[in-house]
Amino acid sequence: MIELRDVTRRYDEGPPALDDISVSIAPGEAVAILGPSGSGKSTLLNLVAGLDHPTTGTVTVDGVRVDRLGEAASARYRRARIGLIFQFFNLLDDLTVADNVLLPAQLAGTGRADAERRAADLLARLGVSRHADAYPGRLSGGERQRVAVARALMNNPALLLADEPTGALDTASGEEVRKLLTELHADGQTIILVTHDLTLATACATRTIRLLDGRVTADGRVTADGRVTADGRDYAAGSGR
């Protein structure tokens, strides 16, 4: 479903953010991308979201060559297929919670009544219904992230992408978001998740990919009891192609 092939992303300065990586992800997988700061995790997510383009290589999602999309097509692709969750929520502070959640459906041209019904369902499911008419600034971090998850799910995305979704949350709120992502995966949602949070990775993900200096250094399975097992491939020194 998601295939990055021989992907390199270079900036003018410095070593490549991603250095010739190839990764395939199947529908229904929940993949945690791990690695130190600067290892290329967000770059990888942005390439899959079509928010950035590789310097060389291809990014294919559900048969769509995301690396070739222009700006308008890329926005349409995200609206139709991708749900995005960020560390700092990225809610619009001058829209109510309900209107934030409705926005993706409005942009997609969904009928008002259907969209409102779905938004109400999502807010209820995520336990933030009572804040529907409030502005995001009044909510706690955990509540804001749940609203952001509702917004991300609004258009029934085939793929949920989350970049450090618990990175700005206290322990209790982090736990809520962790549970939520784990439930979504159990319901069959395909998820790619960038995180420093090993608890999140092992709770929610069925697979972990480690990046270092823009290369894949390990690609392992997470077992039902939360252990990570390597897949036996040798990712050392350029052999991981």
Give the contacts of 114 (CB within 8 A, at least 6 positions apart).
105
List the one residue from 4, 21, 40, 159 that touches ligand ADP (CB under 6 A): 40
List all residues 6 or more positions away from 191 whose beta carbon is below 8 Å from its beta carbon.
29, 30, 31, 159, 160, 161, 162, 181, 184, 185, 204, 205
Read off the DSSP letter of residue 40. Answer: S
Asked whether position 88 contacts ligand ADP by CB under 6 A, the answer is no
- Residue 155 partner contact from ligand ADP, Mg ion, none using kind-dependent CB cut-offs of 5 to 8 Å: none
11 binds ligand ADP (CB under 6 A): yes
Residue whose CB is less far from Mg ion, 41 or 185? 41
Residue 38 touches which of Mg ion, ligand ADP, none (Cβ within 5-8 Å per kind) = ligand ADP
Q: How far is the CB of 213 from ligand ADP (least distance, A)?
A: 9
The one-letter amino acid code at 172 reads: A
Name the 3-class secondary structure at 148: helix
CB of 229 to ligand ADP, least distance (A): 23
For 196, the token pair is 């420093």
Report the C-alpha gap between 108 and 231 in whole angstroms: 40
Q: How far is the CB of 133 from Mg ion (least distance, A)?
A: 33
Contact between 17 and ligand ADP per CB under 6 A: yes
First to last CA, the chain: 19
Q: Which is nearer to ligand ADP, 18 or 98 (CB)?
A: 18
What's the angle, vertex CA 208, arms to CA 202 and CA 209, rounded to 5? 155
Which lies closer to ligand ADP via its Cβ, residue 8 or residue 199?
Answer: 8
CB atoms within 10 A of CB 5: 16
Q: Which stretch binds ligand ADP (CB under 6 A): 33-41, 106-114, 219-227, 228-236?
A: 33-41
| 3-state SS class at 75 | helix
Stretch that binds ligand ADP, among 38-46, 85-93, 136-144, 184-192 (CB under 6 A): 38-46
Residues in contact with ligand ADP by the rule CB under 6 A: 11, 14, 17, 35, 37-43
